[in-house]
Amino acid sequence: MPKVRTKDVIEKFDLELMSGEEGVNRPITTSDISRPGIEMAGFFDYYPAERIQLLGKTELTFIEKLSDVDRKTRLELLCTDITPGIIVTRDMEIPVELLEAAEREAVPVMRSKQKTTRFSSRLTNFLESKLAPTTAVHGVLIDIYGVGVLITGKSGVGKSETALELVKRGHRLVADDCVEIRQEDEDTLIGNSPELIEHLLEIRGLGIINVMTLFGAGAVRSYKKISLVISLELWDQNKQYDRLGLDEEKVKIIDTDLTKITVPVRPGRNLAVIIEVAAMNFRLKRMGVNAAEQFSNRLSDVIEDGDHEDK
């Protein structure tokens, strides 16, 4: 199924459909937009027909200066069987030749009242958001002090119970059980909840609870940039766990590397507090304050001073 079609753009930006109504279900496969200025000059060798074509004041003024034959030929070449649509901005008059060619080829021609550059920017942002690579992860996403923390781990390890405790401590739930993730930029992952389970938490023994109903609108949010992954695992006494925090583990989601912290779970450990502090410590590191490195440097200084005294 295509993620976005021409009719979605018409609805989103309240565009006026002028011609080619049969093609409103055409898929849009790229967020790139074409302003076919050089094509209007007659050069179609590299015409990106699969993009939405945007005609502004510059292109339409140039088209008016063409001879009747050139205008008709070039506007017909603009309409192909894979062109998702042609949008005219500034509420300008649309050439009759374009309307006729678009109707024949079922290419939707739409009109917007907005200025070209402004509309192009908004359309690009919309398409990039819709066409971004996506995945789904089993886990819980919480906004803790402005840090998007993705809590992962095997089923039954206590992710949802920890999330409930964090919500009680004033943090905000984004998603429980299934987190939908889309990559909006090279290093930006945005997580949200599937619509079906939005604002819901499943707690074994209690069942499903509605966080927004219980704790208010301030306890939830719709989406959040993911910055940190915390993996909960049952305590293994044979495994060596990081006690200083000098080693930074990474995990790759789609094309982005995220910092990962493995937290062992056993009775008596307050996971909510540990995760809360992990989020605060992560913020501090981003500000340039690294407690583990400072301790390591102080330890090195003490060892060096001891060596000098021995000599």
Q: Are 78 and 111 in contact (CB under 8 A)?
A: no
Residues annotated in a binding site: 153-160, 202
Residues near 3 by Cβ (< 8 Å), separated by ≥ 6?
Answer: 130, 131
Residues annotated in a binding site for ATP: 153-160
Q: Long-range contacts: 78-81, Cβ < 8 Å, 24+?
A: 78/36, 78/39, 78/53, 79/20, 79/104, 79/105, 79/107, 80/49, 80/105, 80/107, 81/105
Give the residue numbers annotated as catalytic, written as ranges: 138, 159, 177, 243
Residues annotated in a binding site for Mg(2+): 160, 202
